[in-house]
Chain A
Amino acid sequence: MTMLKTLIAAAAALVPGWAVADPDPADWASVLEAARGQTVYWNAWGGSPVTNDFIAWVGRRVAEDHGVTLEHVKLSDTADAVARVLAEKQAGQDKGGAIDLIWINGPNFAAMKEAGLLFGPFAEQLPNWALVDVAGKPVRADFTVPTDGMESPWATAQVVFMYDSADMAPLADMGALLDWAQANPGRFTYPQPPDFLGTTFLKQALYGVLDDPSVLLRPVDEAGYDDIVAPLWAYLDALTPNLWRQGRAYPQTGPRQIQLLADGEISLAISFSPGEASAAIANGQLPDTVRTFVPAGGTIGNASFVAIPYNATAPAGAMVVANFLLSAQAQARALDPANLGYGTVLDLGALPDGERALFDGIDLGIATLSPAELGPALPEPHPSWMTRIAADWVGRYGVAN
Chain B
Amino acid sequence: MSLRAVPILTLVLLLGPVLAGLAGTLAPAFGILPVIGRVEPGLDAFAALLAWPGLPAAVRLSLVTGLGSAALSLAIVTLLVACWSGTRSFAAFRRVLSPLLSVPHAAAAFGLAFLIAPSGLIVRALSPGLTGWTQPPDLLIVQDGAGLSLMAGLVVKEVPFLLLMVLAALGQADAARAELVARSLGHDRPAAWLKAVFPPVYAQIRLPVLVVLAFSMTVVDVAMILGPNTPPTLAVQILRWMNAPDLAMRLQGAAAATLQLALVCAALGLWWLGERAVARLGRAWVWSGARRAGGQGTAAVALVLAGIAAAAVLAGLAVLAIWSVAGFWRFPGVWPDAITLRNWMRHGPGVADVLGDTVLIAGAATGIALALAIGCLEAEHRHGLRMRVRGQWLLYLPLLAPQVAFLPGVQTWMLILGIKGGVAAVVAAHVLFVFPYVFLSLGDPFRAWDTRQATVAHSLGAGPDRVLWAVRLPMLLAPVLTAAAVGFAVSVGQYLPTLLIGGGRVPTVTTEAVALASGGDRRAIGVWALVQTGLALLPFALAIGLPRLAWRNRKGLLHG
Contact = CB atoms under 8 A, between A and B. Distances in A.
A108 B119 CA distance: 35
A398 B237 CA distance: 11
B504 A80 contact: yes
B289 to A, nearest CB: 48
Interface of B: 34-36, 52-54, 57, 117-119, 135-136, 138-140, 142-145, 224, 228-231, 240, 242-247, 326-332, 338, 340, 346-347, 350, 408, 411-416, 421, 499-500, 503-505, 507, 511-512, 514-524
B415 A93 contact: yes
B115 to A, nearest CB: 13
Interface in A147-195: 185-186, 192, 194
B34 to A, nearest CB: 7
B371 to A, nearest CB: 29
A106 B245 CA distance: 9
Given A43-B504, A75-B504, A255 B521 contact: yes
Contact of B229 (A249, A260, A264): A249
Contacts of B138: 185-186, 244-246, 265
Main secondary structure of the interface of B (DSSP, over half): loop
A284 B338 contact: yes
A306 B471 CA distance: 61
A214 interface: no
A87 B415 contact: yes
A74 B119 CA distance: 29
B245 A79 contact: yes
A157 to B, nearest CB: 16
A248 interface: yes
22 contacts: A47-B516, A52-B350, A74-B507, A74-B515, A83-B242, A84-B504, A91-B413, A91-B416, A115-B247, A244-B138, A245-B140, A245-B143, A246-B138, A246-B140, A249-B230, A251-B520, A252-B520, A253-B520, A255-B519, A262-B330, A287-B328, A387-B246
Contacts of B411: 84, 87
Contacts of B347: 49
B326 to A, nearest CB: 8
B192 to A, nearest CB: 45
Interface of A: 41, 43, 45-49, 52-53, 71, 73-77, 79-84, 86-93, 98-99, 106-108, 110-111, 115, 185-186, 192, 194, 244-253, 255-256, 258-260, 262-265, 284-287, 387, 394-395, 397-401
Nearest to A253: B520
Contacts, number: 192
For the residues of A in contact with B, the DSSP-based class is mixed
A367 B117 CA distance: 28
A58 B502 CA distance: 24
B519 A48 contact: yes
Contacts of A262: 328-330
A263 B507 CA distance: 31
A49 B245 contact: no
A399 B421 CA distance: 38
Contact of A401 (B34, B228, B511): B228
A82 B245 contact: yes
A93 B503 CA distance: 13
B504 A46 contact: no
B216 to A, nearest CB: 19
A84 B504 CA distance: 9
Contact of A83 (B135, B243, B330, B516): B243
Nearest to B114: A263
Given A74-B515, A87-B412, A194-B240, A401 B520 contact: no
A111 B250 CA distance: 13
Given A84-B500, A245-B140, 9 more contacts: A49-B519, A73-B504, A74-B515, A84-B503, A87-B412, A90-B35, A111-B245, A255-B520, A262-B329
A47 B504 contact: no
A80, A81, A192 interface centre (most CB from chain B within 10 Å) = A80
Contacts of B522: 259
Contact of A74 (B142, B414, B512): B512
A250 B229 contact: yes
Given A91-B416, A98-B504, A259-B520, A398 B54 contact: yes
B504 A248 contact: no
Contact of B224 (A79, A252, A395): A252
Given A248-B230, A249-B143, A399 B504 contact: no
Given A115-B247, A249-B230, A394 B54 contact: yes
Nearest to A39: B505
A256 B520 contact: yes
A176 to B, nearest CB: 21
A70 to B, nearest CB: 13
Given A75-B504, A90-B415, A248-B145, A47 B521 contact: yes
B243 A77 contact: yes
Contacts of A252: 224, 229, 520
Nearest to A399: B54
Given A87-B411, A245-B138, A249-B229, A77 B518 contact: yes
Contact of A41 (B245, B332, B505): B505
Given A80-B499, A263-B119, A401-B231, A395 B53 contact: yes
A349 to B, nearest CB: 35
A49 B519 CA distance: 9
A251 B113 CA distance: 13
A399 B518 contact: no
B140 A248 contact: yes
Contact of A253 (B143, B332, B504, B519): B519
A171 B411 CA distance: 50
A47 B415 contact: no
Contacts of B517: 47, 76
Rank and list the top 10 A-B pairs by shortest CB-CB distance, nearest first. Answer: A47-B519, A91-B415, A399-B54, A186-B138, A46-B515, A98-B503, A401-B145, A76-B518, A107-B245, A263-B119
A47 B515 contact: yes
A265 B414 CA distance: 46
B69 to A, nearest CB: 19
Contacts of B52: 399
Contacts of A400: 230
A279 to B, nearest CB: 12
Contacts of A108: 245
Nearest to B61: A401
Nearest to B411: A87
A106 B464 CA distance: 65
A387 B507 CA distance: 32
Nearest to A243: B138
B518 A398 contact: no
A75 B505 contact: no
A49 B230 contact: no
Contacts of A246: 138, 140
A90 B34 contact: yes
Contacts of B421: 98
A380 to B, nearest CB: 14
A77 B241 CA distance: 12
A147 B135 CA distance: 46
A199 to B, nearest CB: 11
A258 B520 contact: yes
A192 B230 contact: yes
Contacts of A98: 421, 503-505
Contacts of B524: 49
A75 B412 CA distance: 19
A253 to B, nearest CB: 6
Contacts of A115: 35-36, 247
Contacts of A75: 504, 515
